[in-house]
Structure formats: structure tokens, C-alpha cells
Amino acid sequence: MISGSILVAIVGYFLLLLAVAFYTSRNADSESFFIGNRNSNWLLVAFGMIGTSLSGVTFVSVPGDVGKSGFTYFQLVLGYWIGYWVVAFVLLPLYYKLNLTSIYSFLGKRLGEKAHKIGASFFILSRTVGATARLYLVVSILDVFVFSAFNIPFWLSTVVILLLILLYTFQGGVKTIIITDTLQTTGMLLGLVLCLYAIIKALNTDFSGAWQMAADNHLTQFWVTDVSKPGFFLKQILGGMFITITMTGMDQEMMQKNISVKNLKDSQKNMMLMSAILVGVNALFLLLGAVLHVYQAKNPVIIGNGAMAAGDDLFPALALSEAFSGGLGIVFVIALISALFPSVDGALTSLTSSYCIDVLNIQQTQTDEVARKHKRMQVHLAFTLLFLIMVFLFRYINDKSIIQFIIKFAGITYGPLLGLFAFGILTKRKVREAFLWPACLLGPVLVFVLDLLCNPAYYEQKLKLKLGLDELSASLFHGYKIGPELIVINGLIVFATLRFFSEKQNLEY
């Protein structure tokens, strides 16, 4: 009965999204799809981007990790906040000055067409893997806790969800997802607050009492002061700042919505408002994680394999348990889908935009709007099929903790973007095109080797084999573990390599 109610709620939610898409996509053209006719309301963009920034993984992983890491994730959030200021007052003025549709056009203007293609290629690789990993994790949760009750196979639920996302983004693109993201962010935040309230109420306390319970259970630690640990506060703040600069300011998905705003001033207001709200929302996610673990300690929830729910399974297992009579389960599922969709629909749209503009260059090669629209739709469908294949690949690997790998993967693949943009903005030098790819590949290769030597246990667990690097790691690093600063090291290597192969030349851009 509970699963039936949840399924009805999911269907109703999808129908609402399709109705919004139908309304917003009327008379849409390629300009609407790519940048919303540069007429988006900054308040809607700011609010909708909260959902895009958080995703379904944040919704289950941040609360689930509190039992192990306390509130130390907030160190990273502070770094995010600083990074948004850099994006707002360094990168956005540049993008508006050049009137860009794709932000990687800057690299083409500054360093040549090959740099343009390289930047877009790293974005396409990074966003495809990251978005499909998030999609896999959420579909897996729905598969275990909802769809399995109706014997709906994983492959069918994945296909249906992707088809629905395709349908409501196919025509309107950015023009549509700015509205749907606003709706979805509302659903996510409302679900977060209602879930938090319900669990606090189940503990027979209030917010201040919940905080005290969390503190009594040693779940409220904010700062890590041991420099050798990945969670050391300076690493987290610095890493969080550069993660935001690259994965927001140098990411076509995030910037596509920002540069759709009417003018620079409004776009900057959007970024500042979003950053402030994100700090508060992440704080609520951490408090939710604390009360989830307190509740689990008092009223253990057992999942299908007979083990106590923990990690990413804790929130869904508790919300969908009989203890909350199904009401919380409906709220949780709608909030989870609301958290998932902004990151997937935005990725699908931005990948289509980037491939069409940066790789196919259809704005110059296709002068006819009908031909341009036909090619865009072909690319959009192709990326949907690619998403489907990637989700099935993650299903084959069958490791929900693969999101840890995705974070590392982003640190490796976004590093070249950091190096390229930093070199383009901070210098007036020119790099010979023959050296661009080697320079952009050297950073990822070196930081992968560095991380492998620094964290051999992590790779042994993932690869399920003994590498025999423990003694070498101990002698080289003396217990030091690389954390979010991986992306900074990567960007510095790429920047230094570009600088080495560059020559003096006055450039105007």
C-alpha cells in the first residue's frame, strides 16, 4: 500500500513536469534551448541552481556520512561559498564581456581553436560520468525501496526515467529547465524540512533538543586540525573553493543558466543569493544526518540483507520504513527525485549545447534554423542513449560507493580546465597548439599516480587486488592523505606546463 501511494505520487510529479515543459517550450528555438534567449529571471535561476548544485547524491550521502565524519563536510561548504564569489566577480564579467554562448569559446579566442575543443572535451567527459553516476545511485534507491515491490526491473525504470527527462528537455532546453529546476528545488527543500521535522518529532524533542542529542552522540565535530588527514580544514576550504571555481565557473551546465540572465549585475546577484542559501541548506542536511543517526541508535532500522541501515541507505531505509506510515516515504521520494532531476536534465541540456556549439559548431555551419534544430535533437537523443549505457555500466559494477571514485575522477578531469582558464586569464602568453594536449594530459596522469601512491588502500579496495605500495607510500608521505586539494595540484601542473611551452605575445580578447 505504501509503495502504491509512492508510485502514484511519482507519476503525478512526472505529469506536472511534462505540463510545465509543454507550456515553456512553445515557440522555442535554438537560442531558447542554448541560453534561454538571454532573458531568464535571475531569482528563478538562483533558486533553481540550488537543486542543480546539490543533486540526489547530496540528499542521501551527506546525511549518511555524518555518522562517520560529523559536520566536517561544512568545511568544504565554506570553501564552496568563497569559490562562488570568485566565479561572480572574476569569471562572469569575462563571459558577459565576450557575449559567450559556450564558455569554452573563451579558450578558443584566447588560446586557439584546439584549446576550445580540449576544454569542451574535458567538460563532456566529466559531466557525462558525474551525471550518470548520480542517476544510477538514485534509480538504485528507487529500485530497491519502491519499484521492486511491483516487480519493475531496473532496466525498465531507468529507461522510463530517462525518457521522461528527454521529453521535458527535448524542445525547450534551458528555457524549460530554469522553470522545472525551480519547481524541483522547491520539492527538494520542502522535503528536506518536512523530513527533518518528522524525525525530530519522532525523537520527542525540538530543534535545540535535536542539536543537543547530536552533540551528546559526538556527531557535531566541525573542524579537523590534523594536517595529515584528507579532512584537514585548510585542505577542505581550499579544495572546496577550487571545486566551485571549476565545477561551477568553468562548467558549461552551471554557466549556461547564469549567462542566460539579462545582464551581468543580475547574474552576479543570482550567484551571491544562491551561495548564501546553499550554506544554510547544507547545514540542514548535516543536522538531518545527525538526527537520522540518533534515531537509528534508538530505533534500529534493518534493511533487506539483515544488516542495520547505514551510509547512503540510512535515510531512504528510515523514511520508507513502516515506522513513519508511508507519509514520510512519499515526501522523501518526491524530494529525492526533485534533487536528482536538476542535475540530470541540466547535464543533458548542457552536454547537447556544448557538443553542438563547441564540437559541431552548428551556429556557423548550419545557417538554417530547421537544420540546426534537427541536428540538435539528434545530439540530444544520442546523449540520452549514452546516459542509459553508462547507468547500466554502473549497475554492472554494482558499487554504490562509486561516488567516491566520481569525486576523484572530477578532481582529475576538471584540473585541465582549471589550468587552461587560469593560464588564459592570468597571462598574455601564447602556447603552440602542438603542446596543448600533452600539457592537459600531463596533469591528470601525474595526479592519478600521486593519489595512487598516497592512497594505495583505496585503489586496492576498488580494484580488489594487492598493489604492494604500502611501504613506499609510508616512506614518501608519512601518513599524509590527499583530499580535495587534488584538483588544485592538477591545475597547477597544467598551468606550469602551459607556461613552460608558451611564448610572449600581446593578446587582446
Q: What is the pLDDT of residues 429-482, one digit of tens each?
A: 999 889 999 999 999 999 999 988 988 887 887 777 787 888 888 888 887 888
Span 63-109, pLDDT tens digits: 888 888 899 999 999 999 999 999 999 999 999 998 887 899 999 99
294, 219 in Cβ contact below 8 A?
A: yes
Q: CA dihedral in degrees (346, 349, 350, 352; nearest 10)?
A: 160
The pLDDT score that the predictor gives to residue 387 is 94
Q: How far apart are the C-alpha atoms of 52 and 327, rounded to whole Å?
A: 26
Nearest C-alpha neighbor of 54 from the set 44, 45, 62: 62
The set of cell numbers assigned to 13 is 510529479
Is the predicted pLDDT of residue 493 greater than 60, yes or no?
yes
Residue given cell 512553445 in the structure block: 26
Find the range with the poorest average confidence among 83-92, 181-190, 207-216. 181-190
Per-range mean pLDDT, top range of 208-212, 327-331, 351-355, 381-385? 381-385
225, 233 in Cβ contact below 8 A?
A: yes
270-304: b (≥16 Cβ within 10 Å) or e? bbbbbbebbeebbebbbbbbbbbbbbbeeeebebe
Stated pTM of the model? 0.83
Is the predicted pLDDT of residue 34 greater than 60, yes or no?
no
The pLDDT score that the predictor gives to residue 365 is 63
122, 415 in Cβ contact below 8 A?
A: no
The pLDDT score that the predictor gives to residue 325 is 61
477, 453 in Cβ contact below 8 A?
A: yes
Backbone angles phi, psi at 302, to 5 degrees: -100, 135
Q: How far apart are the C-alpha atoms of 339 and 311, rounded to whole Å?
A: 18
Span 19-28, pLDDT tens digits: 877 776 665 5
| Average pLDDT across the chain, whole number | 83
The set of cell numbers assigned to 282 is 547544507
As to burial, measured by CB atoms within 10 angstroms (0-12 exposed, 13-18 middle, 19+ buried), residue 263 is exposed
Nearest C-alpha neighbor of 85 from the set 249, 283, 265: 249
Residue given cell 587552461 in the structure block: 420
Looking at the DSSP assignment, which residues form a beta bridge with residue 308?
302
Span 37-56, pLDDT tens digits: 455 666 777 777 776 677 66
Q: Is 430 helix (H, G, I), strand (E, B) or coil?
A: strand
End-to-end CA separation in angstroms for the chain: 62
The pLDDT score that the predictor gives to residue 319 is 81
Q: Is 431 helix (H, G, I), strand (E, B) or coil?
A: strand
Q: How far apart are the C-alpha atoms of 231 and 239, rounded to whole Å?
A: 10
CATH number belonging to domain 2-398: 1.20.1730.10
Domain boundaries, given as residue ranges, for the chain: 2-398
Look up residue 256 and give its amino acid. Answer: Q
Span 359-396, pLDDT tens digits: 888 766 666 767 777 888 888 899 999 999 999 988 88
| Residue 253 CA: distances (Å) to CA of 52, 257, 330 | 9, 7, 29
| Residue 280 CA: distances (Å) to CA of 77, 199, 257, 415, 449 | 10, 19, 22, 28, 37
Nearest C-alpha neighbor of 348 from the set 183, 174, 180, 155: 174
Q: How far apart are the C-alpha atoms of 284 and 301, rounded to whole Å?
A: 22
Is the predicted pLDDT of residue 29 greater than 60, yes or no?
no
Per-range mean pLDDT, top range of 232-236, 356-360, 407-411, 490-494? 490-494
Q: How far apart are the C-alpha atoms of 29 and 36, rounded to whole Å?
A: 9
Element spanning 175, H or E: helix 174-202
Find the range with the poorest average confidence among 84-93, 157-166, 274-283, 334-343. 334-343
